[in-house]
Amino acid sequence: MNIQIDSDLKLAMAVQPDRKPMGRARKAWALARRYSQITFGGTLLLILVLISILAPFLGTIDPRAMDTLSRLRPPSAAHWFGTDMLGRDLYSRVLYGGRNSLMIGFSVMVISAVIGTLIGLISAYIRWLDGVIMRIMDGLMSVPSILLAIALMSLTGASLTTVVTAISIIEIPRIARLIRGTVLSLREQPYVEAAVTSGSGPFRIIFRHLLPGTVSPLIIQSTYVWAVAMIIETMLSFIGAGTPPTIPSWGNIMSDGRALWQVKPYMVFIPGVFLTLTVLAINVLGDGLRDAFDPRIALRK
Amino acid sequence: MLRYALQRIIMTIPVMAVVAVFVFGLLFVTPGDPAVVIAGEQASPAEVQAIRVAMGFDQPFYVQFGLWAQRLLSGDLGTSVFSREPVVELIAQRVGPTLSLLFGGLIIALLLSVPFGIYAAANRGKLFDRAFTAITVLNFSIPNFIVGYLLVSIFALGLRWLPVQGYVPPDRDLGAYLLGMILPCLTLGMGFASLIARVTRASMLDVLSQDFIRTAKAKGADRNRILFAHALKNASIPIVTIVGLGFASLIGGAVITESIFAIPGLGRLTLEAISHRDYPVIQGLVLVFSAGYVLVNLAVDLIYVLLDPRIRY
């Protein structure tokens, strides 16, 4: 997307040192433009995260407070995003709902990154277990994720923990496969072979030589997991198999608005816009990180 | 080729076995008595006991699994707890609309993605390419039910060109069936199109930078001939791969799309099964959908050989 801008900037930066050293602010600005996707995605994500963290200070009221006298009000000065069928303030629900949606996505990302890395490492390192583990991962990956989550949710009943667990189980195989592949190729690198020959123990090799090499693919993949997890949470809640209805999340707010969406479309579209912006921010950030980390793209530039 | 096909078919067996064990075992690893889970919280002890005996939960795990697997192999997916009908029949009744939706969605996804992906790659860095990249990322980030509602708002409620929802079987009124499937298939296809389009663009860029393309240009081949005859053929393997891998998300999308457009397919059956806590039906659906996904990817692996004669097994 930004190849043109990037190459212009590269030229500009190459000329720069001959004139005078760049100030700190200019350097930061040049960096921000150099990695424009990371800047855009990161800033947008930061704003959305701040909005949900600061929800209590942004003119919200209790997102669960019902006011039966003002039900289904369109957006107004008193209720910026209107009210739902129970008279709850949608602006407050969307902001507080963002906390839950972001937290669910973030938790899934952390849990599946940690467990997936562990499984991937074990699979790549203990060869006789590799076949078994990878067949299990293949099996898990061949169940369409929404259905897998539905099956898990229908058995355990709705709670935040089960939503996070169900989505994490879906995402773990993807991380495990990635880490296994990365570690397998790192193991063949001369520096790792040298470490093995010079008598380093397995733990030293894993923590000192193999894990650092998995960090950049892991970070990139994890951002996508965060985005995907938020979309799955929304879809599950939307069909009534996700976050319990008492807890506001973007999926639940949209699910509430579903019955009336033809007359009050904003009840679905406002939380939808917030969700889309968040997922977009995370995806753009992930694309930017991928391009920044990928040595082939760096070389091309 | 035949030997490879056979080998590849045999390789799907352990994968399906894992799915079967997982789907069956799920009922046991989740906390609580499976009979109570299925009966629901308001059931009386007698009802719970009846389900326990009917489902065989009073027997040891391995006996139950053995019996279940034996019936599964003979094509018996058990009986619905709610409607008391065989799960196989329930699925057979509902499979038609879902297959139409998946097929239509896939066609639309391919039509929307491959041509634009090729054009973006051929015009790399130009305005079209940058707009293309931005649009695919944006489209990729919108949950498909929002896309569905937007499409309905525009084409059904606004322009009144197409029905809002509902499903007419093709043998009753083919015209109404086709009209009714346009919006659901578009909803399902659009999200998938972004993914295929991105892979098409990346794969084409990769091929277009190779020596044989330069040679083709040097000998004066027509630009379209280079793009379609030389490049696309070589760029098609990653495209076919992502179609196979993405099929799982297409199935997930179909469940949601059916629920938006009130299409009585397998997705709706899934949602009905959830609300009735009808675990045998959910089990059967997960197995059937997973088998579909595994079969699609088996087909993808066999298509590789047709696309690239260098692949010999």
- pTM of the prediction? 0.82
Instruction: Give me the architecture of the A35-300 domain, per CATH.
Output: Orthogonal Bundle (1.10)
Residue extents of the structural domains in chain A:
35-300
Section A283-291 average pLDDT: 86
Nearest CA in chain B to A270: B146
B22 and A139 in contact by Cβ < 8 A?
A: yes
Lowest mean pLDDT of A183-187, A292-296, B24-28, name the range: A292-296
pLDDT digits (tens, 9 = 90+) for B123-154: 888 899 889 888 888 888 888 888 888 888 88
Test mutation, A239, A253, A254, A296, chain B, max B CBs within 10 A: A239
* Of A41, A198, A179, the residue nearest A118 (C-alpha): A179
Most confident of A263-267, B81-85, B178-182: B178-182
Does residue B203 sit at the A interface (CB-CB below 8 Å)?
A: no
Query: Which residues of B fall within a CB distance of 8 Å from A269?
Result: 146, 149
Of A147, A235, A254, the CB nearest to B289: A147
Nearest-Cα distance to chain B for A139, in Å, is: 5
B132 touches chain A (CB under 8 A): no
Q: Calculate how close chain B gets to A257, using CA atoms only, in Å.
A: 12
- Give which of B300, B272, B297, B302 is closest to B284, Cα–Cα: B272
Same domain, B195 and B80: no
In a domain, B312, yes or no: no
Query: How many Cβ atoms sit within 10 Å of the Cβ of residue A14?
Result: 9
Coil/strand/helix, residue A63: coil
Domain, as residue range, for B69: 2-87
Cα separations (Å) of A269 from A86, A231, A239, A272, B11?
Answer: 18, 15, 16, 5, 45
Q: Is the pLDDT of residue A299 over 50?
A: no
Say yes or no: B10 and B46 in one domain: yes
Span A245-266, pLDDT tens digits: 788 888 888 888 787 777 778 8
pLDDT band at B215 (very low <50, low <70, confident <90, very high): confident
Measured in residues, chain B has a length of 313
Residue A55: partners with Cβ closer than 8 Å, 6 or more residues away: A92, A95, A96, A98, A99
* Rounded distance between C-alpha atoms, residue B170 and residue B176, angstroms: 8
Mean pLDDT of A158-173: 88
CA B307 – CA B225 distance, rounded (Å): 17
Is the CB of A279 less than 8 angstroms away from the CB of B270?
no
Same domain for B112 and B174, yes or no, is yes
Bridge partner residues of B79 (DSSP): B86
More confident residue, A256 or A282: A282
SS3 A126: coil
Domain identity same for B170 and B238: yes
Residue in chain B lying closest to A131 (CA): B14
Confidence of residue A20 (pLDDT cuts 50, 70, 90): low
Distance separating alpha carbons of residues B50 and B102, to the nearest angstrom: 39
Q: Identify whether residues B48 and B111 lie together within a single domain.
A: no
State the total domains in chain B: 2
Phi and psi at B157, nearest 5°, equal -80, -40
- Per-residue pLDDT, A298: 45
**Which distant-in-sequence residues (6+ apart) come within 8 Å of B101 by Cβ?**
B181, B184, B185, B188, B254, B257, B258, B263, B265
pLDDT at B185 over 90: yes
Among candidate residues B72, B87, B102, the one where a domain is terminated:
B87
Residue B249 has pLDDT above 90, yes or no: no
| C-alpha–C-alpha distance, residues A18 and A21, integer Å | 8
User: Mean pLDDT across the stretch B251-256?
Assistant: 89
How far apart, in whole angstroms, are the C-alpha atoms of residue B122 and residue B116?
A: 10
Q: Does B123 touch chain A (CB under 8 A)?
A: no
Average model confidence (pLDDT) across chain B: 84
Residue A2 pLDDT class (50, 70, 90 cuts): very low
Backbone angles phi, psi at A40, to 5 degrees: -65, -55
The predicted pLDDT at position B187 comes to 92
Per the prediction, chain A carries an average pLDDT of 81
User: B30 with B168, same domain?
Assistant: no
Residue B313 within any structural domain of the chain = no
Residue B11: pLDDT band with limits 50, 70, 90:
confident
